[in-house]
Structure 1
Amino acid sequence: MRTQVAIIGAGPAGLMLGRLLERAGVDAVIIERKSADYVLGRIRAGVLEQGAVDLLDAAGVGQRMHQEGLIHKGIDLAFDGDMLNINFEKLIGKHVMVYGQTEVTRDLMAARQDSGALTIYEADDVAIQDFDGATPRVTYRKDGVTHTLDCDVIAGCDGFHGVCRASVPEQSVTSFERVYPFGWLGVLVDQPPVGEELIYAHHEHGFALCSMRSNTRSRYYVQVPSDEKAANWSDDRFWDELRARLNPATAAALKTAASIEKSVAPLRSFVAEPLRFGNLFLAGDAAHIVPPTGAKGLNLAMSDVKVLAEALIERFLERSTAGVDGYSPTVLQRIWKAERFSWWMTSMLHTFPETGAFGRRIQRAEFDYLASSLAAQQSLAENYTGLP
């Protein structure tokens, strides 16, 4: 086969890139090593910046999001039970949308299927070749048969552990990484959310988050050691620990039930530089990872592919390379700002045993400063709802 753009990875980044290119008349094939059901089964984030909402609308896949998504005007922060509401709309006139990444993926999948655009699922032994030359190609095995996809450009949207970044010579890419000594133990439950807004809580036992997927389904998290196993936590143990980390009134209002999913997600900060290698472009988790504290992962992926789609459309339809030449420095500016914000949120709200009593007092001072400063609250709101 031959196509203009070979997209590796059928997560939201790859699907959105394919959708934007398709609507502009640029041919793209998506190759994914997992099944469609597996991709849809991944439990991921669910807070969309306004820019991501606008992009879904521009791609023609925003209708269900507007019907089922929940507009949130702010977030609640807590420190040892003291509560602080950050009202985005009052502070800067913006809001965010709670709409699960699984649902974003489902909407993009459905649009691609309806249009007849080609996605190849369950592709084994995916490899990219000659991406630094004029004739890049992708090889893969499907149903025991080896196939070759010739293309002009390869878009690596295949995640942190994908083949695309791993195929770049080690000396050609620089990695910046911080691995945190803790993770989030998350529980999904069919119960109404405990609060109207997301609640981010700091407690001496560790961080906790009360989030949601809908008005009837909630997602809760507690900080645990990075090597903790979900199997070690019964539902009762989880609920007891969550209540202990919340404001007493919030804990009393919490409605529990049997968990329908339980898992531990490790936390890391990661950026690769550059993000272009000849005719290979990295986007989404292949390019960067942020701690989920700042709700930036999916939103960064959407902004990456927006810039990349515009650059590729310019290349193929206008015969200009200005966009592709500027892709890496353009998106890296926003990536590092999001990394900073996610690091800041993580540092303020989690416990770091190695920092001792001094570290906790600094965190308390950070929270108190935030509570007393309109400018600090506006800065948080600006970053959380999405930088340009």
Structure 2
Amino acid sequence: MEILNTKVAIIGAGPAGLLLGQLLYKAGIEHVIIEQRSAEYVASRIRAGILEQVSVDLLKQAGVDHNLRKKGLLHSGVEILIQGKKHRVNLSALTQGKHVTVYGQTEVTKDLMQAREQQQLLSFYEAEQVQIADFDSQPKVNFSYQGKAYQIECDFIAGCDGYHGICRDSIPQNRLKTFEKVYPFGWLGILADVPPVADELIYVQSERGFALCSMRSETRSRYYLQVPLTDHVEDWSDEQFWQELKLRLDPESREKLVTGPSIEKSIAPLRSFVTEPMRFGKLFLAGDAAHIVPPTGAKGLNLAASDIAYLSSALIEYYVQGSEQGIDEYSEKCLQRVWKAERFSWWMTHLLHRFESETEFEHKIKQAELDYMLGSQAAMMAMAENYVGLPYEITPLDIAGHTEH
């Protein structure tokens, strides 16, 4: 067995783990990334594509915003389509100039991977039999790589390995509490090289179910349909998807919709999930390892980024200033933001989707709430404030504003 020593072992090479690695590198803190999947698999995963400004600022601080600045699409508003009529929520006007940026998570991941490769930082892809141990005292990560056994001895472990990862599963059940809501439908998503139907996202509430018109670029579109959990991707041809989407759109959007062959098609179940706490001794959970949100509020990647903002700041504070305050406050600070995002994502999901168990009274109340929101400056301001992203308690400039050493 080969024994390696480092300061921080990062489990998982998704955007959370890669971003943490990049911020630690900028601060001169030794670390290693261990990932069970191949680099090609990680780079090809299709995920969300809406970044809050604080996430954009964090990527800039990490030095990986070159492509983002060139290709990201700034959006100052969103459309909500109800009963065949579109209503625009002017995000910028309601939030003193804030906006969101459309830039795919796949592209964020590729940018981070490219930076890591250029810097020749140590990463183990396709690691097998990954296990963590002794995270209350002297943390260790054991795994095999290309037939050879390794042990990493480190100061801290960052569990950025997703909902199905090994880090959360390694914690004794009596030390954590989980909160979960599983929704009775999924999102059928299609990616196609066709121009978007509109310049901004369209959220659709219809009697046939929810739909979302989104994009990844000016030539690549991402569309979603609410479907029963019993549906399978094989049940839906491209032609059937486009036809159903048209039935949920207004006449103007239907006329503008450009269809084409799918380059990716999948069904994602929806759930809300939170683990408390997010720190266990010298093990930290971040991103999907600690929480899941339904994609309706566009908070998944942004919550992972905020976790990494707090965690990188805490680790830099520990190594540069010798203070454990950030480490001690990590879980509490993250969870405050997590639960606010969970609330907003639940609210958006509840408001825009059709639930089979919904009574006529509940449906009328939902419609009244939408009417109120779209007719009230104060209500729309609250929606816009949450959509563009609630502020961090620390600013991105505090996160990695240290010279490399």
TM-score exceeds 0.5: yes
Q: Aligned residues: percent identity?
A: 58
- Correspondence for 1:177: 180
Partner of 2:112: 108
Q: CA deviation at 1:25?
A: 0.9
Deviation at 1:359, TM superposition (A): 2.2
Among candidates 87, 93, 106, match of residue 84 of structure 1: 87
Q: Which letter does structure 1 place at the counterpart of 2:267?
A: V
2:399 corresponds to: none
Q: How does 1:43-192 map to 2 (within 5 A)?
A: 43-92=46-95, 93-133=97-137, 135-192=138-195
Q: Which moved more, 1:283-292 or 1:142-151?
A: 142-151
C-alpha deviation, 1:228, in angstroms: 1.6
Q: CA deviation at 1:263?
A: 0.2
Q: Which residue of 2 aligns with 1:281?
A: 284
1:350 Cα offset (Å): 0.3
Residue of structure 2 in register with 1:257 after alignment: 260
* CA drift at 1:131: 0.5
1:193 aligns with 2:196: yes
Q: Does 1:230 align with 2:233?
A: yes
Q: Unaligned 5+ residue runs, structure 2?
A: 392-405
Q: 1:339 aligns with which of 338, 342, 351?
A: 342
1:315-374 deviation digits (Å, cap 9, x = unpaired) = 122111111000000110000000000000000000011012222212211110111100
Contact 1:189 1:218 (8 Å CA) reproduced: yes
C-alpha contact 1:201 1:245 (8 A) present in aligned 2: yes
Runs of 4+ in 1 over 3 A off after TM superposition: none
Question: With structure 1 as the length reference, what TM-score do the two structures score?
Answer: 0.99
- Please tell me the root mean square deviation across aligned C-alpha atoms, in Å: 0.7
Residues 1:210 and 2:213 aligned together: yes
Instruction: Please give the per-residue CA displacement for 1:152-188, whole angstroms capped at 9, x wherever unaligned.
Output: 1000000000000000000100000000010100000
SS across alignment from 1:215: coil
Distance 1:361 1:376 in 2: 18
1:294 aligns with 2:297: yes
AA aligned to 1:124 is E
> How far, CA to CA, are the matches of 1:327 and 1:59 in structure 2?
20
Give 1:382 deviation, angstroms.
0.4
Any gaps of 5 or more consecutive residues in structure 1?
Answer: none
Residue type of the partner of 1:322?
Q
Q: Residues 81-119 of structure 1, C-alpha deviation per residue, up to 9 Å, x if partnerless?
A: 121100111111210000000000011111111111111
CA contact under 8 A between 1:164 and 1:286: conserved in structure 2? yes
Inter-partner Cα distance in structure 1 for 2:232 and 2:159: 31
Larger deviation: 314-323 or 304-313? Answer: 314-323
Question: Where do 1:14-33 residues align within 5 Å?
Answer: 14-33=17-36
- Paired residues in the alignment total 387
TM superposition score normalised by structure 2 = 0.95
SS in 1 for 2:5: coil
Match of 1:8?
Answer: 11
- In 1, Cα distance between the equivalents of 2:226 and 2:361? 20
| SS of the residue 1:353 aligns to | coil
